[in-house]
Amino acid sequence: MPRQLIAGNWKMNGLSVPGARLAGAIREAVSAAPPPCDLLICPPFTLVGTLAHVMLGSGVAVGAQDCHAKVAGPHTGDVSAAMLKDAGATAVILGHSERRTDHGETDAEVRAKAAAALAAGLVPIVCVGETWPEREAGRQEAVVAAQLAGSLPDGFAGTGVVAYEPVWAIGTGRTPTEADIAAMHAMIRRVLGERFGAAGGRVLILYGGSVKPANAAAILALPEVGGALVGGASLVAEDFLAIAAAAQV
Ligand code: PEP
Which residues does the annotation mark as catalytic? 96, 165
Q: Is 171 in the pocket of ligand 1 (CB under 6 A)?
A: yes
Report DSSP letters for the chain, one per residue: -PPPEEEEE--S---HHHHHHHHHHHHHHHHHS--SSEEEEE--HHHHHHHHHHTTTSSEEEEES--BSSSSSS-TT--BHHHHHHHT--EEEES-HHHHHHS---HHHHHHHHHHHHHHT-EEEEEE---HHHHHTT-HHHHHHHHHHHHPPTT-TTT-EEEE--GGGTTTS----HHHHHHHHHHHHHHHHHHHGGGGGG-EEEEESS--HHHHHHHHTSTT--EEEESGGGGSHHHHHHHHHT---
Confidence at residue 204, expressed as pLDDT on a 0 to 100 scale: 98
Phi and psi torsions of 230, nearest 5°? -115, 125
**What one-letter code names the amino acid at 9?**
N
* pLDDT tier for residue 234 given thresholds of 50, 70 and 90: very high
Mean pLDDT of 29-55: 97
Q: What is the pLDDT of residues 103-145, one digit of tens each?
A: 999 999 999 999 999 999 999 999 999 999 999 999 999 999 9
Give 44: exposed, middle or buried? Use CB within 10 Å, 0-12, 13-18, 19+.
middle
Q: Whose CA is nearest to atom 1 of ligand 1?
A: 231
- Phi, psi of 174, deg, nearest 5: -95, 145
| pLDDT at residue 87 in the model | 98
- Ligand 1 atom nearest to 93, measured from its CA: 3
How do residues 185-203 score in pLDDT, each as one tens digit?
Answer: 999 999 999 999 999 999 9
State whether the beta carbon of 230 lies less than 6 angstroms from ligand 1: yes
Q: Residue 116's pLDDT is what?
A: 98
Handedness of CA 167, 171, 172, 175 (dihedral sign): positive
Q: First CA to last CA across the chain, in angstroms?
A: 8
Q: Which pLDDT score is estimated for 110?
A: 98
Q: Residue ranges of the domains in the chain?
A: 5-245
Q: Whose Cα sits closest to atom 6 in ligand 1? A: 231
Measured CA to CA, the distance from residue 169 to residue 187 in angstroms comes to: 19
Whether residue 177 has pLDDT greater than 90: yes
Per-residue pLDDT tens over the stretch 51-91? 999 999 999 999 999 999 999 999 999 999 999 999 999 99
d(CA 184, CA 135): 11
Å from CA of 241 to ligand 1 middle: 16
Q: What angle do CA 209, 93, 13 make, to 5 degrees?
A: 70
Contact 76, 43 (CB under 8 A): no
Q: How far is the CA of 219 from the centre of ligand 1 (A)?
A: 14
Q: Are 22 and 235 in contact (CB under 8 A)?
A: yes
Banded model confidence at residue 1, pLDDT cuts 50, 70, 90:
confident
pLDDT of residue 81: 98
Mean pLDDT of the chain, nearest integer: 98
CATH architecture of 5-245: Alpha-Beta Barrel (3.20)
- Which amino acid appears at position 111 of this protein? R
228 CB within 6 A, ligand 1: no
> Would the pLDDT of 239 be above 90?
yes
Is any atom of ligand 1 closer than 6 Å to the C-beta of 231? yes
Q: Under a CB-based contact definition with an 8 Å cutoff, are residues 72 and 80 in contact? A: yes
